[in-house]
């Protein structure tokens, strides 16, 4: 079966999407800042516990890598749109403090990265979404409006639960280069593109690309979107993980890629939330409700 969450809309048949300042590309940075437990398995990764190697690598991201990324983002005056495990708020408060200094945006990303949303029953999942919202709101001072599930996992109910708890955009659905209205039972919901093709885990861990290859791939992605953006605006997200791109031998590739991208006119350096707000204000048309 095909999903009924959104309509099929070929990009060549849509009204022209215009970003602020007639920008060609809306660029947002999506670092996944996560919390892992040494006594819990990471789906598809470890079997024997405790997995010291996997745990300590990810802990490096929270202790070192994320602050290295902050320095790079600051150079280009870019605010991050953080996919935030709620447990980071309690276990790594310095990250929240430094992010708030930079007016970073915080999105929900489950409680921790050991547990997927499809691992809960329906009632439990709704409670977890509410708990994530409440923890992030209390710790950061602002309620999250966006969501990316751990491992991008959902159940059939997830978009409805998110909308019911006040979330207004979701990044799990990598189906487009522009925002997409979604059907939900109540409230409203759109997809803000989070392109998996240039996810640093896909690039470095799964495909084993070198930093030089990563730089070229990210720039090639931008070049195509920038060219197409002359006709209608596009979204470019750079998905990141502090324990991957935050490594000393990889961070320079991100730095060089941002230098290249930001040297172009017509790039709106923004956040996922600002993209959603603009789309809601200027282009959103509810696609109708769904029963599931």
pLDDT of residue 292: 41
Could you tell me the domains of the chain? 18-282 (3.20.20.370)
Q: pTM here?
A: 0.96
Phi-psi region of 216 (alpha: psi -120 to 50; beta: other; left: phi over 0): alpha
DSSP reduced 3-state for 30: strand
202, two tokens: 């896909």
User: What burial class does residue 101 get, using C-beta atoms within 10 Å of its C-beta: 0-12 exposed, 13-18 middle, 19+ buried?
Assistant: exposed
* Residue 196: φ, ψ to 5°: -70, -25
Can you give the pLDDT of all 292 residues of the chain as single tens digits? 899 999 999 999 999 999 999 999 999 999 999 999 998 888 877 667 898 998 999 999 999 999 999 999 999 999 999 999 999 999 999 999 999 999 999 999 999 999 999 999 999 999 999 999 999 999 999 999 999 999 999 999 999 999 999 999 999 999 999 999 999 999 999 999 998 899 999 999 999 999 999 999 999 999 999 999 999 999 999 999 999 999 999 999 999 999 999 999 999 999 999 999 999 999 999 886 654 4
Q: Is the backbone peptide bond immediately before 114 cis, with ω within 30 degrees of 0?
A: no
Partners of 33 in the β-ladder = 84
User: β-strand 146-147 against 267-269: which pairing, if any?
Assistant: unpaired
pLDDT of residue 45: 74
């Amino acid at each position: 079966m095909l999903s009924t969450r959104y309509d099929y809309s070929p990009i060549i048949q849509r009204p022209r999407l215009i970003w602020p300042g007639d920008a060609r590309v809306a660029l947002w940075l999506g670092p996944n800042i996560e919390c892992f437990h040494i006594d819990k398995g990471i789906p598809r990764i470890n079997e024997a516990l405790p997995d010291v190697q996997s745990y300590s690598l990810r802990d490096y991201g929270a202790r070192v890598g994320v602050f290295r990324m902050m320095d790079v983002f600051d150079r280009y005056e870019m605010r991050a749109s953080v996919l935030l495990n709620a447990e980071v708020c309690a276990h790594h408060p310095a990250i929240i403090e430094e992010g708030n200094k930079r007016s970073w945006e915080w999105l929900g990303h489950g409680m921790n990265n050991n547990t997927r949303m499809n691992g809960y029953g329906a009632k439990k999942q709704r409670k977890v979404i509410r708990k994530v919202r409440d923890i992030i709101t209390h710790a950061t001072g602002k309620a999250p409006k966006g969501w990316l599930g751990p491992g991008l996992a959902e159940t059939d109910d997830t978009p409805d639960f998110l909308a019911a708890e006040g979330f207004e955009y979701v990044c799990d659905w990598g189906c487009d280069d522009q925002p997409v209205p979604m059907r939900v039972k109540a409230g409203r919901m759109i997809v803000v593109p989070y392109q998996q093709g240039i996810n640093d885990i896909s690039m470095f861990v799964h495909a084993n690309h070198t930093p030089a290859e990563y730089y070229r791939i990210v720039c090639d992605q931008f070049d195509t979107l920038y060219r197409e953006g002359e006709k209608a605006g596009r979204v470019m997200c750079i998905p990141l993980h502090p324990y991957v791109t935050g490594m000393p031998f990889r961070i320079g590739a991100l730095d060089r890629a941002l230098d290249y991208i930001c040297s172009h006119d017509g790039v709106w350096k923004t956040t996922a939330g600002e993209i959603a707000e603009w789309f809601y204000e200027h282009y959103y048309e509810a696609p109708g409700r769904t029963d599931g």
